[in-house]
Amino acid sequence: MPATTSGSATPAPGPTGHRPTGRSNRFHRTLTAGWAFQRLFTSETARRNALPSWLHHYNHHRPHTAIGNQPPITRLTNLPGHYI
């Protein structure tokens, strides 16, 4: 591992580079803004209970510009029982 200026070791990027981390970070930013802090929840349980609905909207109804404003689920073609 390369050493930082303070002398501590930092992990090197994996074999695919930084791209997966960037995608993960972007999803977490969207998750935080769109679900976790979108509204005031009265408890952590209420926040957790709202997650499945938000994930359904995110994957099934949210238009994605990179795929022609189609929801991400349209790209998934290997769901059990949903063969084309």
d(CA 20, CA 23): 5
Per-residue pLDDT tens over the stretch 20-37: 677 788 888 989 998 999
Per-residue pLDDT tens over the stretch 43-58: 999 999 999 999 999 9
Under DSSP, the state recorded for 64 is B
The mean predicted confidence, pLDDT, of the chain is 80
- Residue pair 50/35 in contact (Cβ under 8 Å)? The answer is yes
Half-sphere exposure of 60 (CA within 13 A, CB side): 6
